Amino acid sequence: MDESFGKDEKLKSKKLIDILFQEGKSVKKYPLKLIYLPITNPEIKHFKTGVSVPKKLVKTAVDRNRIKRLMREAFRKNKYLVTSNFTQAYALMFIYISRDEISLEDLNKAMIKVMEKFNESENK
C-alpha cells in the first residue's frame, strides 16, 4: 500500500481547478466537504488532490496552514479507500467548513467518512 503524496498527485492545474468548481459534484461530512470530478484526460493516471481552508472561516494563516497539513496527512494515510476502488482518475478538492480547530484523530475520522460517502455516490 502506497502512502505517499507526491507532486504528481497534487491538484495544481488552474484549468482543472476551475472546471472542478464549475462542474464537480460534492459530498459533505462535517467538518469536510469533498468536490470531485472524473478526469477525462487519458494521460493522467493518478487522483489529483487539493486541500483548502477558507480565510473567511479560519482567520490566521498559522491555523489555516496547520489544518491544511493535517488534511493532507489524513488523506495520505487513508487514500487507499478511494484509489483502490476506481480505475478512472478523479480530481478531488477537500474543503474545511468549520470555524473550530480540530485534532488529527477527529480529522482522520471525518476524512474516512467523507471518502466512504464518495465511494457510495460514485459506485451507484
Cα dihedral value 114, 78, 83, 36, nearest 10: 30
pLDDT by residue (tens digit) across 71-109? Answer: 999 999 999 988 888 888 999 999 999 999 999 999 999
pLDDT by residue (tens digit) across 26-75? Answer: 999 999 999 999 998 888 888 999 999 999 999 999 999 999 999 999 99
Left if phi > 0, otherwise alpha if psi is -120 to 50, otherwise beta: which for 27? beta
Q: What is the CATH number of domain 7-122?
A: 3.30.230.10
pTM value > 0.85: yes
